[in-house]
Chain A
Amino acid sequence: MASGAAPTLVRLERVGKVFPNGPAIEDLSLSVGEGEVVSLVGPSGCGKSTTLRLIAGLDAPDTGAIVWSGGAAPAMGFVFQDPTLMPWATVEANVALPLRLRGRDRAAMQGEVRSALAALGLADAGGLYPRELSGGMRMRASIARALIERPRLLLMDEPFAALDEMTRFRLNDDLLRLRRDTGATILFVTHSIYEAAYLSDRIVVMSPRPGRAVAEIAVDAPPDREGYRHAPAFMEMCRAVSAALRTAGAEAAA
């Protein structure tokens, strides 16, 4: 799955996006294969969120193209940096939202909602309101909602940045397990080198604004990542990503 053999799901071809205060990304090319976990790392403000929004169709690129393998964009799940839950709705209703907006009736989606909650360890939290949850549980609910429609592509924008480190580690492992169980394709934005090295099959390093993909690093690690966090190979990977980021920054400054 880490190899380049997987068929491409989506390809960005020299994509650019200009905001009133100047270009945010420029000539950005990258691809994501079916079943692959790709991380996007880069300094803050380099256009990582913008890239995800373009892929999700929430914004349109000014130049370049986004090409989907099937021709049209598939169903996508999006996990924002904030959990973005509706405070007036229970966890269950929040997770069920995408199905409800498609006009599915309550009874028919009960089972799906319950299994999505269970998959993220929220089996007992369905009746609670967001304000009653911890930060980690809110993020779990947000992920459950993004997965409820079994999207072909899961876009995640620094989902764990606001969480404490222990919670973050646990959610990293949960995400790996989910990925193993569902074979989901994930494009994951993070500014944590460790997180990128731990989760990804491939890491794309972006330059400072205007963002371009300046390096790609393939991660060669056992799929279940058992003990990988403490393996010398992991530290080696972190060093490599860190070096690529430094080079990207130096190039832009020169």
Chain B
Amino acid sequence: MTPPRALAPLTALALALAAWETLVRVNGVPAYILPAPSLVLTTLWSDRAVLAPSLLVTLRTAMAALFLATTGGLALAILFARARWLERALYPFAVIMQVTPVVAIAPLLLIYAEPQTAVLACAFLVAFFPILANASLGLSSTDRGLVDLFRLSRATRMQELVHLRLPAALPQILAGIRIGGGLSLVGAVVAEIAAGTAGAGAGLAFRIVEAGYRLNIPRMFAALVLIALAGLVIFAVLNWLSARLLSPWHESAAPRRLG
């Protein structure tokens, strides 16, 4: 019997937290310099009225951005696969958008758009490119033999897309979405910090900035923990979804053979 795979990282985490807790208590470090893990935990609970709505705001932004980036990236990739000249014309701009750091774009977007729209746009921008690039690669690397086979059966271009190119590209498309999912959270957080929106639309990143001004260090940590957890959840959900969709046939998701 081997121990479950989660055991090693969980043990490491527990040890690190215990060391941190001990360090803070033994040295009497004040909470405004470094709060103990136990204090962060209690802050998570006591500040839930502020933190929970903010968590929802940030998650909703990231999910909406991922959804838009997925539909947009996939649609554009399909267009690119149909018309190479369009790809040659537009791809450089997609690259420019990608290599320009979103922190630099956010203040500009905030001039032209409502803060919430601007935050969504930033999250969309960072998630969009990996989805487009991966889907494009997948759609253009269909097995030549299968393409010949479809032509032999006089398949329409629509049939070729639906029954051949899209399913063949599914592993790459899902890889793009997995990357985009993590990046949409990064984009949302960065844009929230730049926007500094208060009130009902305030996301978790804004709470960090706000708590920083007030020297409420335990709340900063609590919000940070929630952001990390949100990222983990997005990662886990997308990995699970991807494995489910690929499991019967793809090497990456197939159950290991015994032997």
Contact = CB atoms under 8 A, between A and B. Distances in A.
Given A87-B249, A88-B167, A101-B159, A76 B145 contact: no
A86 B152 contact: no
A87 B250 contact: yes
Interface residues of B, number: 22
B153 interface: yes
A97 B160 CA distance: 11
B149 A78 contact: yes
Contact of A58 (B151, B170, B250, B251): B151
B254 A102 contact: no
A84 B152 contact: no
B248 interface: yes
Given A58-B148, A101-B159, A88 B153 contact: no
Question: Which of B153, B167, B254 neighbours the largest number of chain A CB atoms within 10 Å of its CB?
Answer: B153
A234 interface: no
Contacts of A188: none
A126 to B, nearest CB: 14
Given A84-B143, A84-B145, A101-B159, A78 B167 contact: no
B146 interface: yes
Contacts of B163: 97, 100-101
B151 A98 contact: no
B249 A84 contact: no
B152 A56 contact: yes
Given A82-B145, A101-B159, A131-B251, A88 B170 contact: yes
B150 A101 contact: yes
Interface residues of A, number: 21
Interface string A71-102: 00000101010101011110000000110111
A7 B170 CA distance: 47
A131 B252 CA distance: 12
Contacts, number: 50
B18 interface: no
Interface in B146-172: 146, 148-155, 159, 163-164, 167-168, 170
Contacts of A78: 148-149, 152
Given A101-B159, A131-B249, A131-B251, A84 B146 contact: yes
Interface in B49-72: none
A228 interface: no
Question: Which of A80, A100, A101 neighbours the largest number of chain B CB atoms within 10 Å of its CB?
Answer: A101
A97 B249 contact: no
Contact of B153 (A82, A87, A98, A131): A98
Contacts of A100: 163
A98 B163 CA distance: 11
B200 to A, nearest CB: 45
Contact of B254 (A56, A76, A84, A131): A131
Contacts of A84: 143, 145-146, 149
Interface string B25-57: 000000000000000000000000000000000
Contacts of B150: 101
A129 B153 contact: no
B152 A58 contact: yes
Given A131-B251, A131-B254, A88 B151 contact: no
A76 B249 contact: no
Nearest to B164: A86
Across chains A and B, which 5 residue pairs bring their CB atoms closest together, nearest first? A84-B145, A101-B153, A129-B249, A88-B249, A101-B155
23 contacts: A53-B148, A57-B152, A58-B151, A58-B152, A76-B152, A78-B148, A78-B152, A80-B149, A84-B146, A86-B146, A86-B168, A87-B250, A88-B168, A88-B170, A88-B248, A88-B250, A97-B153, A101-B150, A101-B155, A102-B153, A129-B248, A131-B251, A131-B254
